[in-house]
Amino acid sequence: MLTETTFTVSGFTPVPVDAVQAPTALGVGVATMEKLYSGGAEGRSTTLFTSAFDPERGVGTYVAIESFVGSLDGRTGAFNFAHAATTRGAGRSAEYFTIVPGSGTGDLAGIEGGGSLVIEADGTHRVTFDYTLR
């Protein structure tokens, strides 16, 4: 099944990184995020977000794992998904998106698949889930 949804970030909390970092040109940061979804997915997620990023140049890479709870195409439950991408100041490359197998609960038990995350010119974050229920 293919479904599309959008999200807004309702919270972003940086988390201190206690480990000694190597002196690279991009610092590593960690944060937790809260997101609200509407569309084919209705609900909320908590996200663990890690990045090496330079906001002035818009260059870097992020890796995120989310725990979503709500409904997907009217089926209620929860599941995890992970995504990552790189930017060199414009656009995205090296994109990765997967639904974590074995993570679904309720009507979403057995969910598997992938998807994509696109940031539109107006800043809208659009997620597509391409999934099956086993």
Tens digit of pLDDT for each residue in 4-58?
999 999 999 988 776 666 778 888 889 999 999 999 999 999 999 999 989 899 8
- Give the Cβ contact number of residue 47 at 10 Å: 21
pTM given for the model: 0.91
Specify the residue for token string 């190597």: 22
Distance from chain centroid for Cα 47: 7
DSSP code at position 115: E
Sketch the domain layout of the chain as residue ranges: 2-15+25-133
State the CATH class of domain 2-15+25-133. Answer: mainly beta
Residues facing 35 on adjacent strands? 9, 45
Mean pLDDT (the chain) is: 93
End-to-end, the C-alpha distance of the chain in Å comes to 12
Which range has highest mean pLDDT (90-94, 102-106, 123-127)? 102-106
Lowest average pLDDT, out of 69-73, 74-78, 96-100, 121-125, goes to 121-125
User: What's the CA angle centered on 101, arms 95 and 106, to 5 degrees?
Assistant: 120
Structure-block tokens of residue 81: 């998904």
DSSP code at position 123: S
- The answer to whether the beta carbons of residues 73 and 103 sit under 8 Å apart is no
Percent of the chain's residues with pLDDT above 70: 97
Structure-block tokens of residue 96: 């990765």
